[in-house]
Copies of this chain bind each other. A is one copy, B any other.
């Protein structure tokens, strides 16, 4: 991480320090520290020229903190003695900048220590443009997602069509059976499925985050949305939709509309041209509309065309945002068409915006009819 933006923010706001407190589930903290942390509170304190970055962690995690923390000082104490907020408050004075969602008790410790606290969104701003190192990590996780997708597609391609059901490996295939196989494949690649493997069949595809268990039948859309997390904390994000034994009709038309919508987005993705994020959504919606689907609700296109991905699965910018695209933004491009009575189709790639055009971090074929794939396709 480059401390430059923190330094500038302290200077511009005439502030003395930046403080954040949280646990291992706080993505801002993981971004700031590189520390994969414990599930107990720890604190990050930055005071620029006065000493740089300090990590306050329970003593039990000292070894891990010294290995992982990118800053200068690791301060340890017994977990029971003082909270992370209390310890951070001992290290700072004057005006302290904090993220607006800092735990309330940490804010109170800072105030009790005589600090004036002001909120800042500097970390959110820092996270928007990824470094090449971050992009490499995200790309590695996307590879694990692709291995998971290859497994799912291969299972679907080799399933036997029964009387209204699909059978695989001697049993009827369900969304949960397929989810477990996909999660195992991603885990084997070193990524954590992290509970967000969305697999829907027919109606449940219209539930954008379906994680339940329903049978998968022939002729039904099977929507697979994989968002594993890599060892450094970065996410991948990849969606494909397949139909075994498709009879064409609605899903074929929806698939073509979504493919064309994704292509339309790709045509405008570039930082140099001053393109606004919401224009990317606009292009996909227009294409979906041209194929006769509603571009802004159900049945039709019910969500935004994409979002930022990094240390959080969903982060800035949304492709509905009124801000210009910038080089280094990592974005999903994921148009979709849904009909609660017929099914749902979504195709999602993960890309990085470049000064001219974009780079697709996804290298996975688009095909409505499932094929047998090797784990690197």
Contacts and interface: CB of A to CB of B under 8 A. Distances in A.
A214 to B, nearest CB: 13
Contacts of A189: 180
A102 B103 contact: yes
Contacts of A107: 104, 107
A366 interface: no
Given A61-B209, A101-B103, A192-B193, 10 more contacts: A36-B211, A101-B104, A104-B119, A180-B189, A181-B188, A183-B192, A184-B188, A192-B194, A193-B193, A195-B231
A364 to B, nearest CB: 20
Interface in A301-342: 303, 312-314
Given A176-B190, A187-B193, A103 B100 contact: yes
A64 B210 CA distance: 8
Interface of A: 25-26, 36, 38-41, 60-61, 63-64, 98, 100-107, 119, 176, 180-181, 183-190, 192-195, 207-209, 211, 229, 231, 303, 312-314
28 contacts: A25-B26, A36-B195, A36-B211, A40-B314, A60-B208, A61-B209, A63-B207, A64-B207, A64-B209, A98-B104, A100-B104, A101-B103, A101-B105, A103-B104, A104-B119, A107-B107, A180-B188, A180-B189, A181-B188, A183-B187, A183-B192, A184-B185, A184-B187, A186-B187, A187-B187, A192-B193, A192-B195, A211-B231
